[in-house]
Amino acid sequence: MRMKLMLAAAGLAALAHAAPAAAQDKTLVLGGYGGSFERLMKEVVIPPFEKEHGVTVQFVPGNSTENLARLQAQKGNQEMDVVFLDDGPMYQAVALGFCGPIKDTPALADVYDIARMGTDKAIGAGFVATGFAYNAEMFKEKGWEPPKSWMDLADPKYSQLLSIPPITNTYGLHTLVMMARLNGGSETDIEPGFAAMKEKVAPNVLVFEPSSGKMSELFQSGEIALSIWGSGRVKSLADTGFPAVFGYPEEGAVALMVGICPIVDSNVSGEAQAFIEYVLSPDVQAKLAETMGFGPTNRKTELPKELGDSLPYGPEKVGNLVAVDWNVINPKREEWTQRWSREVER
């Protein structure tokens, strides 16, 4: 009898030791952007979360198009548990049923309304503003005032000194939509946008450059003075010492949100929900701002003045951001892309 009791006690002790190990064996697969974003996640953001929640986070790098394609290819047997996507692809992921509901948490109450994305299945983890990027030194040498209006892109003084990403890039798409809106159209009436791009803006464009690296090179070589770009990209270029400045158009910079959502049927759904709440916390939001140039979506995040001045940060700047209607754009995007190739980049 005594031997049985000893064996039972030993078994209970073994189970007690095994429990933490089993918890540690949980793996959360996170999809997100590669490059500097992946390094930030692995070096700064993920380790404290792993320690607190007893989970291993595996990172799957890819741009938004690649990770949306992964979700489509793995339908019914998803590899990822949480994914970061640009807002356009994120609306597609929600519409296709890949994202599950986000549980209501204290952090959600502190998120700006524009970052709620009109759904309970995705939320903005960071703001990037689409607006003007310009070489302040070149503008000063030429005696030019900083650009003010989206329609300034049509000013002949920028002939062959302007670069705009193509419509396959969100910055280019935002430009098309704003040209439509400022010329009597909208997402549902894109004709004025194509007309303005083709007749007024395209003649000034040196190159429709999709690559952020090449866009930086165009600025550094003095080939361009002005582009439409994201506030985070401009911050990264300015951090190298180049006199790059981000300008907010008077009609409003367009909000490009970095969205995050929990994937349906995850076997670590609790940890997935916890990771989203963690990313929305003021501390992590501040880290994303400092390293990636993302404007915080949590209104309680506090940033140093110099950093805050360079980002879409605070109620006033966030309140002036313009949102585009992705529910109208996404079904039309392929058609618009083909038309852009024929008419704008010809």
Per-residue pLDDT for 22 more than 90? Answer: no
In sequence order, the 6+-apart residues with CB closer than 8 A to the CB of 300 are 110, 282
Extents of the domains making up the chain: 2-127+256-319, 129-255+324-343
pLDDT at position 36 is 82
Instruction: Tell me the percentage of the chain whose pLDDT exceeds 70.
Output: 93
pLDDT band at 103 (very low <50, low <70, confident <90, very high): very high
Q: Which residue has the higher pLDDT, 346 or 179?
A: 179
pLDDT single digits (tens) 130-168: 999 999 999 999 999 999 999 999 999 999 999 999 998
Q: What is the pLDDT of residues 293-335, one digit of tens each?
A: 899 999 999 999 999 988 999 999 999 999 999 999 999 999 9
**Residues in CB range of 243: below 8 A, 6 or more apart:** 135, 136, 137
The better pLDDT of the pair 194, 15 is held by 194
Q: What CATH number does the domain located at 129-255+324-343 have?
A: 3.40.190.10
The domain covering 2-127+256-319 belongs, at the CATH homologous superfamily level, to: Periplasmic binding protein-like II (3.40.190.10)
pLDDT in tens, 31-46: 999 888 899 999 999 9
Return mean pLDDT, the chain. Answer: 91
Strands 226-230 and 162-163: parallel
pLDDT at residue 78 in the model = 96
Q: In percent, how much of the chain has pLDDT > 90?
A: 82
Is the pLDDT at 13 greater than 50, yes or no?
A: no
Domains 2-127+256-319 and 129-255+324-343 share a fold: yes
pLDDT tens digits for range 179-230: 999 999 999 999 999 999 999 999 999 999 988 889 999 999 999 999 999 9
Confidence of residue 233 (pLDDT cuts 50, 70, 90): confident
Residue 4 pLDDT grade (very low, low, confident, very high; cuts 50, 70, 90):
very low
Burial per residue of 95-116, b for 16 or more beta-carbon CB atoms within 10 angstroms, e otherwise: eeebbbebeeeebbebbbebbe
